[in-house]
């Protein structure tokens, strides 16, 4: 039924876990480079930015770095771009938790930004992180071995994945989705835009920096988009099956808010089935990638079986 995922070894998953841990440490060392130093009377905005950055899994930076490496650019060279994706992602989490959006008071195992600080600070810290993300992407041009032309290409397409045709559009649709009955087409739009597009952008960015062929950039983009869809389906499943202690964010909130999710549309078992189908598709798409197959397949299994 799912021959590709059945053939992914535990060793591959262990490799991905090790790389994710190592990457998280390195990303955490580099992130401060891309944060502006702000003194009084505005210091609180930089405190809120630093506060919100702590504690993420750093899966999007891992994707940027491994994509670069898969196409021949040493992973660490792509670090500014990897940090750019994490800065933007963190901004989306701050805004996602605001009272006007998901109204969630726990994030990354601590009070959400607007609870730890206040709503105005959270809005502005999110805004500032989005700008900082662009600074980080631009800083990529300082690296020897990466041409300004490809850096501009990454920046130019970042907005299509992060902006109104991506995450922001997905978030708007997600809020609208609370007011209507379950709707598969709407749900697909939400998952694709609020989550999968940033994964796609991250995979493409690494490949673009490595000057991969257009065909390869498309291939890693399709794989990462499918992985991103899987990531959001498992996020929906964890909301109904995990705990706040494990996830570091509240559970059971999607149903309460009337969110469009796969458990709501097809039930929990149906959502698991769909997750396995997406994982199989993602694993099949790794055949199009030039190397690092163990890593890319292991990542599929890690996301399928993730517990946090």
Burial 201-233 (b: 16+ CB within 10 A, else e): bbbbbbbbbbbbeeebbebbbbbbbbbbbbbbb
Q: Does 272 bind ligand IPE (CB under 6 A)?
A: no
Reduced to 3 states (helix: H, G, I; strand: E, B; else coil), residue 194 is helix
Given the complex with ligand IPE, which of 212 and 235 has the nearer CB atom?
235
Least Cβ distance, residue 253 to Mg ion (angstroms): 7
Among 157, 171, 200, 280, binds ligand IPE (CB under 6 A): 171
Given the complex with Mg ion, which of 101 and 139 has the nearer CB atom?
101
Given the complex with ligand IPE, which of 94 and 220 has the nearer CB atom?
94
Least Cβ distance, residue 244 to ligand IPE (angstroms): 11
Q: Does 108 bind ligand IPE (CB under 6 A)?
A: yes
Rounded Cα distance between 308 and 304, Å, is: 11
User: Which residues within the stretch 224-253 sit at the binding site for Mg ion (CB under 5 A)?
Assistant: 235
Alpha helices in the chain (DSSP H): 3-6, 10-30, 43-53, 59-70, 79-97, 113-116, 119-139, 148-162, 167-177, 184-191, 197-209, 214-241, 244-247, 253-257, 262-285, 293-304
Q: Does 197 bind ligand IPE (CB under 6 A)?
A: no
| Residues facing residue 110 across a β-bridge | 107
Q: Does 200 bind Mg ion (CB under 5 A)?
A: no
Q: Does 96 bind Mg ion (CB under 5 A)?
A: yes
Residue among 84, 56, 209 nearest 158 (CA): 84
Among 232, 242, 260, 286, binds ligand IPE (CB under 6 A): 232
For ligand IPE, how many residues bind (rule: CB under 6 A)? 17
Among 69, 92, 112, 226, binds ligand IPE (CB under 6 A): 92
């Amino acid at each position: 039924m799912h021959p590709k995922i059945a053939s992914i070894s535990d060793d591959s998953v262990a490799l991905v876990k090790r790389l994710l841990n190592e990457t998280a440490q390195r990303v955490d060392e580099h992130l401060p480079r891309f944060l502006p130093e702000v003194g009084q009377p505005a210091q609180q905005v930089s405190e809120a930015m630093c506060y919100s950055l702590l504690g993420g899994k750093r899966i999007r930076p891992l994707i940027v770095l491994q994509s670069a490496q898969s196409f021949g650019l040493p992973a660490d060279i792509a670090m500014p771009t990897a940090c750019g994706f994490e800065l933007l992602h963190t901004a989306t989490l701050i805004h996602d938790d605001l009272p006007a959006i998901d109204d969630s008071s726990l994030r990354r195992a601590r009070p959400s930004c607007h609870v730890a600080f206040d709503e105005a600070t959270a809005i502005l810290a999110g805004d500032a992180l989005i700008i900082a993300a662009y600074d980080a992407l631009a800083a990529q041009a300082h690296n020897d071995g990466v041409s300004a032309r490809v850096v501009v290409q990454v920046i130019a397409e970042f907005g299509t994945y992060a902006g109104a045709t991506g995450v922001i559009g997905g978030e708007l649709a997600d809020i609208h989705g609370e007011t209507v009955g379950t709707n598969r087409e709407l749900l697909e739009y939400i998952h694709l835009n609020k989550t999968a597009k940033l994964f796609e952008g991250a995979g493409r960015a690494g490949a673009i920096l490595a000057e991969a062929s257009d065909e390869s950039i498309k291939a890693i983009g399709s794989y990462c988009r499918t992985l991103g869809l899987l990531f959001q389906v498992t996020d929906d499943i964890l909301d109904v099956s995990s705990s706040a202690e494990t996830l570091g964010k509240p559970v059971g909130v999607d149903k309460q808010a009337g969110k469009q999710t796969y458990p709501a549309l097809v039930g929990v078992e149906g959502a698991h089935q769909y997750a396995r189908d997406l994982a199989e598709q993602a694993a099949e798409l790794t055949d199009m990638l030039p190397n690092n197959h163990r890593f890319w397949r292991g990542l599929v299994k890690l996301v399928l079986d993730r517990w946090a």
